[in-house]
Amino acid sequence: MTSNQAPARNIAVKICGIGSTRDYDVCRDTGAAFVGMVFYPRSPRHLDLDAARGIADHAEQTHRHDASPARVALTVDMEDDELVGVIEAARPHFIQLHGHETPERASRVRDRFGLPLIRAIRVASAEDLEICEAWEGVAEWLLFDAKGDPGGLPGGTGHVFDWTLLANHAGRTKWMLAGGLSQENVARAIAVTGASAVDVSSGVETAPGKKDADRIRNFVSKAQLG
Is residue 48 situated within a structural domain?
A: yes
Is residue 6 situated within a structural domain?
A: no
- Please tell me the predicted confidence (pLDDT) of residue 137: 97
Which residues constitute the domain of residue 28?
A: 12-225
User: Among 42, 121, 36, 122, which residue's Cα sits nearest to residue 86?
Assistant: 36
CA distance 1 to 5: 6
In the predicted model, residues of the chain with pLDDT beneath 70 are: 1-8, 148-158, 226
- Please tell me the predicted confidence (pLDDT) of residue 116: 98
Given the residues 16, 23, 27, 132, the one annotated as active site: 16
Given the residues 81, 145, 162, 199, the one annotated as active site: 145
Provide the whole-model pTM. Answer: 0.92
Whether 27 sits among the annotated catalytic residues: the reply is: no
- Please tell me the predicted confidence (pLDDT) of residue 176: 97
Is residue 18 situated within a structural domain?
A: yes
- Please tell me the predicted confidence (pLDDT) of residue 154: 55
Is residue 5 situated within a structural domain?
A: no
Is residue 208 situated within a structural domain?
A: yes
Whether 50 sits among the annotated catalytic residues: the reply is: no
- Please tell me the predicted confidence (pLDDT) of residue 225: 87
**pLDDT per residue over 20-62, tens digit each?**
999 999 999 999 999 999 999 999 999 999 999 999 999 999 9
Eight-class DSSP state of 5: S
Q: How many CA atoms lie within 13 A of 142 on its CB side?
A: 27
Total number of domains in the chain: 1
> What is the CATH classification number for the domain harbouring 129?
3.20.20.70
Is residue 2 situated within a structural domain?
A: no
- Please tell me the predicted confidence (pLDDT) of residue 65: 81
Cβ atoms of 117 and 96 within 8 Å: the answer is yes
